[in-house]
Amino acid sequence: MKNEKDFLQIDIEEITSIEVAKEEKQAVIRHILQKPVKVFRLPKWVVAALIAIGISSVGIMSISTVASKLPIVEQFLSYFSKDEQLSRFADNSSIVATTSVSNGITMKVEDALYDGNLVSLSFSLESEQPLDNLLFMENLPKLAGHEDGSDGGFKFKKINEDTYIGFLTITLNNTTPSPSSIELTWEPGSFLDINRNTLASGDWNFSIELNKIQGNELTVNQTISLNPHELVIDYLSFTKYATVIYFSGDLDFATEIVTLDITDNLGNHYEEAPTTTMKVTDKYSTGTVVINDFNSSATSIFITPTIHTTGVKWEKIEKKQLETVEIHLNEYNSQK
């Protein structure tokens, strides 16, 4: 197809389903979601592509009206009882309770957390008029010192006809030790439906300073090479909220994606932990793997990178698996 307009004219019902390996599907998804700049805005053709393959980077579900007065994160937990990230957020976040009102719509940031690698917060949106099919927001928060070095995602839940609750997480692309605190500013701008139609807009404005929760870092600097590729596992970060693996490597951002398969010596396989890469130059990227349910009793982890390579039109994906490396966690465990 020639351009995104051609794509949008496709009848999704006429698309023939094909079986693909899980790794290939993840590679396609990551290609769609990767953006060198302005990572928080998804164009319309990306939305259509996500729908066509049955996957969305944000979750939404209409549920029956409830008269719940629970804090936002507890309401999320009532819907996602097995969500490890939300459970750890509830245990470690700080109360913010700051409100901004614009155009008859009240936004409230209730809880927030910063662990040096991730920033997460819970919020609510209450309107005097119904908000139907809310799916996207125009802007995610900006973090001082990380304007072009972070990536994020969010999800909404509708709890009654005029109220949504939300949860968002931003991953920092750290190249230096993280500061002990971070300043967050947020002007959401507009909230949109699946067709990018504006459902609500306003001048909401939040400014929050967050202190870092306690954690440890383990410097690794281990190289994994397979001509012509070279990846470096830079370091690991451990907090009560999440374990984050940071890496970098010589990747062609237009045609190559890397995924990291993570296991530990106890037999745990962290297959739900996403690999995210960010463009530094056309031929060099940095990336992270965020693990929300890491077993703290593990004494070593095993990392197996796979390079997914294709042409610029992404017709066919070729996979090249690099060697598995073992990283011993004795130094980290001795600090706990």
C-alpha to C-alpha distance for 240 and 217, rounded to whole angstroms? 12
Instruction: Please give the biggest Cα pair distance in the chain.
Output: 60
Residue at token pair 């939305």: 47
pLDDT surpassing 70 at residue 186 = yes
The pTM of the whole model exceeds 0.85: no
> Position 203: which residue type?
D
Give all domains of the chain, ordered by start, each with its CATH number: 72-211 (2.60.40.1630), 215-328 (2.60.40.1640)
Residue 199 · residue 134 · CB < 8 Å:
yes
> Tokens at residue 271, please?
């297959």
Residue 181 · residue 138 · CB < 8 Å:
no
Average pLDDT over residues 165-172: 85
**pLDDT tens digit string along 142-164?**
888 776 656 778 888 888 888 88
Q: What is the DSSP string of 43-90?
A: -HHHHHHHHHTT--SS---B-------S-HHHHHHHH-TT-HHHHHHH
Average pLDDT over residues 242-264: 89
**pLDDT tens digit string along 112-144?**
999 888 899 989 888 888 777 777 888 888 888
* Res 71: pLDDT: 54
**pLDDT tens digit string along 300-327?**
999 999 988 887 666 678 888 999 999 9
Exposure class string for 25-40: b at 16+ Cβ within 10 A, else e? ebbbbbbbbbeeeebb
DSSP bridge pairs for 247: 233, 287
**Burial of 93 from C-beta contacts in 10 A (0-12 / 13-18 / 19+):** buried
Average pLDDT over residues 9-26: 48
